[in-house]
Structure 1
């Protein structure tokens, strides 16, 4: 199971989210403190998350082999954002922990701000994100985690219909993780007038495309969109978290879609929140990509990731704007705890059954975690692994 500290955080989030739900007042201090705790835990961890050691190797390799003038070059082996921050911190002889803290700070702050601004129940959104996306993204695939956060932030410019600033966000996203290119049409998707019926037709089309494997038309060369370099292979270690066949995860997604469609017309008709349809459109497109490309794990899971991040906001909107508010609050809260039970085995395999930090893990040695030019072999950076 996951460490009791993580469960304690879940319970605290649940209590605070219920308080928001009852009194309909956003808790700014609460979400700020919870975000700070999540940042620290993600930053000071050691050996937790499937991508931890590959990212450490990248940190050393970038500082040893990549010149400043080659940050945007193909030889860097990874997106420019990670290279830039690695070079910057490495030039100051700072340990890998500072890089994790930096990425976690940027990523989780942007997510929390987006939740607070657009979710009627921001702490419920944070709780929904926490289990288990926090462990997969901001404590695992940190490049994509940050890119998704920037996509969430760009919703501000989607709402304002400021195309230029939105495109600037997309450029930064692409430099952070290449899968962000899938979010490029979000500006037009979110602002489109898609009725409940049209949304249902879109999902139906994606299910028809599923067995036709449309991703084969795109070509195998686009597999590189999952990113090149040392961290690429480690993605496979998350394979057990998502199921390719019709299993429990598919049933959960179907139930989520049922909840959306059951409440969609009512929420649109009441027009409580003009951003509801925009967020709903993005989630519909998430399911469209997920099911259309379901035969390829890279395409179906990683490509729609930025769209899927809006589920945390959408579930809070459904809870607050539906006819049966109490029922849906209870439904989604129970679902989160059931999901934590399912995550136990995966949590153990990637190290979240314990709290392993720079303060209590014997594998942490500041010498080995700090870039050194005289390393003869990149595998020397963590001989205790």
Structure 2
């Protein structure tokens, strides 16, 4: 099971989420605890040892970047530029690997939680969705994509304000954290589409119907006709995963369908009654997530990695549904989502042991040799 410390955090967030629901979303009542909890999550992600799916691969890459890659080769390394650059800077000052984890956690978690607080009517409820389980798999696991997704979330404010240059700047920076950021570019225009509830249903049904035809193979022709350096780099990742098959329909798909049904049942009512223009824009992004996810179901990597930036807006949309739905169902949906989060923590038990989150393993309670985590060999020294 998850270490008790993580459950204590979950209980605390749940308590404050109930307070904000009871106070009808008065953010002033939860601002200080919200900042404290977010800071704690950053701290725990930064000091962890042997926790997360990619911990040891990232650790070895950190050492190897300093050992084999010179400064003038950073943009040609087989890793995202941001990871190579941060690794080289930290290695130059002989900083331990933990600091790199902390920097990534600071970028990803702070940008995500800032966006939740800004746009969610119930930030604590959004924080629970983020914490269980994205925090463990993304921000304490696939840290490069977590940072890129955070920049996509952060860029939403420029979608709302229609500031295209600033939006594209966020995407450009996010690309150098993870190449999948490119798929979020259409979000700037998709968010403003006027899509009815019925058309949302048609979009999802269409995605399911075309999935057996493997629509992602269209990108083969696209990549072959584009010579841009950025696109050519993304091509490498595409061809690495194009042959992977999907895993079929499972529990994750069932849960996604339940969430989709909840959204569609309340969508028409919310669109007619709410004055929050961000609802429809964020709903459009979630429908886009479903379209990409289901249309790419024949590929196990594409269907998970590519729509991730859109899917993270569920953290905000869940709170919007609870806030703007018919008041008769407000607490019903709130308790349903809370139950889901706790069931998710139960389902995570096998994975938590495998990923090391059943222990509070960090730099303070592990008997580690600090020199092991500091680069000792440098490419420029040879």
What is the TM-score when the length of structure 2 is the normalising length? 0.91
User: Equivalent residue of 2:298, what SS?
Assistant: coil
Taking the TM superposition and a 5 Å limit, the aligned residue runs for 1:1-385 are: 1-24=1-24, 25-26=26-27, 27-73=30-76, 76-219=77-220, 225=234, 244-323=247-326, 324-362=329-367, 364-373=368-377
Cα offsets for 1:44-103 (capped at 9, x unmatched)? 000101100110111111112222222222xx1111111111111111110000010111
Cα distance between partner residues in 2 of 1:333 and 1:317: 15
How far 1:374 moved relative to its partner? 7.0
Kept in 2, the 8 Å contact 1:151–1:170? The answer is yes
Please list every run of at least 4 consecutive aligned residues from structure 1 whose deviation after the TM superposition is greater than 6 angstroms.
220-224
How far 1:10 moved relative to its partner? 0.5
Cα offsets for 1:226-285 (capped at 9, x unmatched)? 987xxx99xxxxx9xxx8322211111110010000000111001231100010000000
Kept in 1, the 8 Å contact 2:51–2:361? The answer is yes
Kept in 1, the 8 Å contact 2:66–2:378? The answer is no
Cα distance between partner residues in 2 of 1:226 and 1:21: 46
Alpha carbons of 1:115 and 1:227: their partners in 2 closer, same or farther (altered >3 Å)?
farther
How far 1:219 moved relative to its partner? 3.8
> Which residue is equivalent to 1:378?
none
How far 1:197 moved relative to its partner? 1.4
Cα distance between partner residues in 1 of 2:347 and 2:208: 26
What is the TM-score when the length of structure 1 is the normalising length? 0.90
Kept in 1, the 8 Å contact 2:274–2:324? The answer is no
Cα distance between partner residues in 1 of 2:156 and 2:43: 26
Q: Gaps spanning 5+ residues in structure 2: where?
A: 224-230
> Which residue is equivalent to 1:236?
none
The number of equivalent residue pairs is: 361
Cα distance between partner residues in 2 of 1:186 and 1:312: 17
Q: Gaps spanning 5+ residues in structure 1: where?
A: 234-238, 376-385
Kept in 2, the 8 Å contact 1:199–1:284? The answer is yes
Cα distance between partner residues in 2 of 1:373 and 1:248: 46
Cα distance between partner residues in 1 of 2:209 and 2:65: 44
Cα distance between partner residues in 2 of 1:20 and 1:271: 19
Cα offsets for 1:311-342 (capped at 9, x unmatched)? 00000000000011111101101011011111
Cα distance between partner residues in 2 of 1:165 and 1:71: 25
